[in-house]
Amino acid sequence: MEKIQNQKHTKETLYYSISRMLERASYYGFQALVVLYMVGETLKMENKEALTIYGWLTASLVFSHIVGALFGDLLIGNRKSIIIGGIVQAIGAFSLCIPSTTGLYLGLFLVVLGSGFFTPNIISNFGKLYLNKTKLLDSGFTIFYLAINLGSFLGILLIGYLGETYGYNIGFVISGLLMLISLVPILISKEKTLDEIEKSEFPISKRVLNILIGFFVVGLFWGIYEISNIRIFDLQLQFSEISTLDIPKHLWQSINSIFILPISLIAIILWTFFYSSQFFKLMVGFIFGVISFGILFLIPEVPTEQHAITYLVSLFFLGISEIHIAPIIHSILTKYSNPKYLAILISIAFIPTRLFAVIFGLFNERFYDKPTLGLKFGIIAMTIIGIGLIGYVLWNKKTTYNNGYN
C-alpha cells in the first residue's frame, strides 16, 4: 500500500455525486411504485402482466445505455446528453400521472430512454475528473457509489411512502421533480475536456486485458450476488418474523444498504490517503464474499432467533465485499480506456452483468427450491475467482514494476 500525495478531490466530485444521488432517488422511488400502480385500481393489471412489463423495463436499460453513450461520445457530447437524459426522464415520470395504459407505456419509454442518456454519460464525466490523478480513482468512485446507495435508499423510503400514502401521482411527480433538481449540480459544474487529460502510459495490450478481466469478474460477481439473494431474502422474511432485535420489519430488507454507508465512508477515507491496485481490491472483495457466504451457509434452513446476529455479521462482510468490487469496475474502465469513448465502454460494461444474470436465471427454479444451493455455488465460484485474482495481482505486480508503470 502506497501513501497518496499531492492529489485531492474537487468540488466537481461533490456536484456530480449529488446529481447522481438525486437521480437514483428519483429512479428507485419510481421503481418502488410502478408495479403497485400497474396492479392498482387505475390500471387493474394482473400480477404476471405487471411483472412482465417491469422485466422488459429493466432489460431494455442495457440497450438504452448504449444508445445514450453513442450520442454522448460521438454526436452531442456527454454533458448535453446528461441534461437531455434528465429532462426526458423527468417527463417520463410526469407522464405516468396520465391514468391510462398509454400514459404508462409513454412514461416507461421516456424513463428508460432518459436513464440511458443520463447514466453512462455522468459516470464517464465523473471518471474524467480523475484521469490526471488516477490514484484517487477508487476513492472517487466510492464516493459516487455511496451517493448512489444513499439516493436509492432515500428514494424508496420517501417516494415509496408518499406514493402509497397520498397516491401514486404524488410519488411520480416527486420523482420527476427530483430528476429536474439533479440537473442543477451538472449545470454549475465544470466539464473536463479531452485536451486537459494526460495520455495513458499503459500499452494497449495491458489496457485491453485489464478491461476484459474487469468485465468478466464484475459480471460474475453480480450474477452470483443475484442467486445468493434468494437465500438472503428467505432469511430476511424469517428473521423479520421471529427476531426480537429492535429492527422494524421493513428495514430487514434494507440492512445491506445500511451497512454499505459506513463501510463506504471508511473506504473513502482509507483510499483517499493510501493507494493499492484495483485488482488487489477485487481480490479482497472476493475473499470477503467467500467469508460472507460461508457464514450464511452455517445458518440452518429454518433459523432461530439466535442466528440473527450471525446473519447480520454475514451481511456486514458482504458489504465489505461489494465496496471492493462494485465501484472498482468503473475505476478500471476509466484508467485503462480511451477517454474519448469512455461512456460507450461503460454502457457495454452492463452487458456481462445482464448476461450472467440471464444465464443464472435459467436455474432459478432449482435455487428457489433449495436456496442454500445458490450459496454453495457462490462459495465455489468466488473461491476460484479469488485464487485467479491472487495470481493475476502477483503477476501484474511483477510486470508493472519491471516496466515502470504506476
The 10 Å CB-count burial string (b at 16+, else e) for 340-366 is: ebbbbbbbbbbebbbebbeebeeeeee
Q: 339: which 3 cell numbers?
A: 477517454
Grid cell for residue 374: 445458490
Give me 311's grid cell. Answer: 446473519
Give the position of cell 453513450.
Answer: 69
pTM for the complete prediction?
0.91
Q: How many angstroms separate the first and last alpha carbons of the chain?
A: 12
Q: Which three cell numbers stand for residue 223?
A: 450474477
Question: 161: pLDDT confidence band, cut at 50, 70 and 90?
Answer: confident
Could you tell me the domains of the chain? 11-189 (1.20.1250.20), 204-403 (1.20.1250.20)
* C-alpha cell at position 91: 417527463
87-121 confidence digits (pLDDT tens)? 999 999 999 999 999 999 999 999 999 999 999 99
pLDDT in tens, 44-77: 898 889 888 988 888 899 999 999 999 999 999 9
Contact of 228 with 363, CB cutoff 8 Å: no
How does the average pLDDT of the chain come out, rounded?
89
Task: Work out the burial of residue 186: count CB atoms within 10 Å of its CB; fewer than 13 is exposed, 13-18 middle, 19 or more buried.
Answer: buried
Cell 445491506 sits at which residue?
256
- Chain-centroid distance, C-alpha 323: 10
pLDDT tens for each residue of 357-378: 778 777 777 877 787 888 898 9
Q: How far is CA 134 from CA 9, 107, 204, in A?
A: 11, 39, 17
Q: Which amino acid is at 2?
A: E
Write out the three cell numbers for 152.
436509492
β-pair partners for 2:
275
- Residue 1 scores a pLDDT above 70: no
Query: What number is the average pLDDT over the span 113-137?
Result: 93
pLDDT at 402 over 70: no
Written as one letter, the residue type at 31 is Q
Q: Is 337 left (phi over 0), alpha (psi -120 to 50) or beta?
A: beta
User: From CA 213, how far away is CA 399, in angstroms rounded?
Assistant: 16
Torsion of CA 260, 263, 267, 269, to 10 degrees: 120
As a dihedral over the C-alpha atoms of residue 220, residue 222, residue 274, residue 2, rounded to 10 degrees, the angle is 0
Strands (E), 183-279: 274-275
CA gap 297, 284 in Å, rounded = 20
DSSP label at residue 370:
S
Residues for the chain: how many in total?
406
Which residues are CB-contacts of 197 (< 8 A; sequence separation ≥ 6)?
128, 131, 132, 339
> In this structure, what DSSP letter does residue 340 have?
G
Say whether pLDDT at 405 is over 60. no
The pair phi, psi for residue 212, each rounded to 5°, is -65, -40
Considering only 39-53, 245-259, 389-403, which range has the smallest mean pLDDT?
245-259
- Cα 211 from chain centroid? 18
